[in-house]
Amino acid sequence: MTKSKISLKNILLGALLGVLVLVVSFSWQLYRTQLALNAGAPLDPYAITVSLGYTQPLPREIKLDADKVLLGRKLFNDPRLSADNSISCASCHSLDKGGADGRVHAIGINGAEGVINTPTVLNSGFNFAQFWDGRAATLEEQIEGPINNPKEMGSNWGQITDKLKQDSDYRSAFSKLYRADISAENIKDAIATFERSLVTPDSPFDRYLQGDNSAMSEQAQRGYELFQSYGCIACHQGVNLGGNMFEKMGLMGDYFEARGNLTEADLGRFNVTHKEEARYEFKVPGLRNVALTAPYFHDGSVATLPDAVAVMVRYQLGRTMPQQDLDDIVQFLNSLTGELGGQAQ
């Protein structure tokens, strides 16, 4: 056998091996994902996607302790978690508003205005980190932020546990579920369990991925193809179509120069790592239910979904887009609205 034939054989064997590794790796990641779903744990961001950008439907069910979910829901809606008993988690993460609040910035106790747009709580258990700057690794850790922030709930765990211990229903529930007294750790565990239950499957896109070609309109299907071919899927992929990586805001153009009035919040992940390469980086938001969560971006600066797509095309892709393509992509994004608790969002 000549050297050239041996070389060609090695190339073909290498290519075949690469394909086999990809298939085995993807199968293993799917298995790991199912384990995470069954455990109700935060998901590995790459567990249901490969580098090609494929995604999967949201799961219809996640195995969670039903009693903890109920307790967490009660706590999530309890204004006693705030210093003046005026706002709850649900005040800024309304399930009637796509898991957000519809404001540019959240409003906390005493009418204090926050500095950043409220991210949706829906499907947040699929995010690889919490907050726009990713400073919290888990939902449990994330809860510390609004509880202690003077512009949000402005409270502390001593105040909260003292108030809740006066409630006989809470005392009974915590004793039954945790075999312990009411504590910060148990409160966070219950709320995070409830938040992990806030999954919105059965969107038209989910049904389309499951093989129902009639679930999405032809325009939405064209939009999905354009979403991929323009490169949007490079950042918005995985089961949540985002939430699994950081990216610079203004990758292909200076978004902040065009907008003006730079704030500390605009520094993004730089505020966490203090590394120059993290300046203006943010967690890529998941696009599930995006039609419900205006205004858009970390600064809440864009009021409509078509305008948000146009901004992304300009500053993240560095491209121009015909109006018809933009309209088609918006129709695709509208198809990402799912259902929560059997109720259409």
Alpha-carbon dihedral of residues 207, 210, 215, 220, nearest 10 degrees?
100
Cβ atoms < 10 Å from Cβ of 300 = 20
The type of residue at 157 is W
Task: Enumerate the known binding-site residues.
Answer: 89, 92-93, 232, 235-236, 312
Residue from 61, 140, 144, 152 carrying the catalytic annotation: 152
Q: Is 339 a catalytic residue?
A: no
Task: Name every residue whose Cβ is closer than 8 Å to that of residue 255 and which is 6 or more positions away in sequence.
Answer: 249, 280, 311, 315
Q: Are 284 and 242 in contact (CB under 8 A)?
A: yes
Angle (deg, nearest 10), helices 323-334 and 218-229: 110
CB 285 within 8 A of CB 296: no
Helix (H) or strand (E) holding 281, with range, is: strand 281-283
Q: What is the DSSP string of 210-274?
A: TT-TTSS-HHHHHHHHHHHHTTGGGTS-TTTTSSS-EEETTTTS-HHHHH----GGGGBTHHHH-
CB contact set of 51 (below 8 Å; sequence gap of 6+) = none
Q: Which of 155, 221, 219, 235 is nearest to 187 (CA)?
A: 155
Q: Judge whether 305 and 335 are in contact, CB under 8 Å.
A: no
CA angle (245, 189, 90) in 5-degree steps:
75
| Residues flagged as binding site for heme c | 89, 92-93, 232, 235-236, 312
- Residue 9, C-beta contacts closer than 8 angstroms, at least 6 positions apart: 1
- Token look-up 């995470």 returns 36
Q: Name the 3-class secondary structure at 152.
A: coil
d(CA 155, CA 71): 20
Query: Which residues are catalytic, by number?
Result: 152
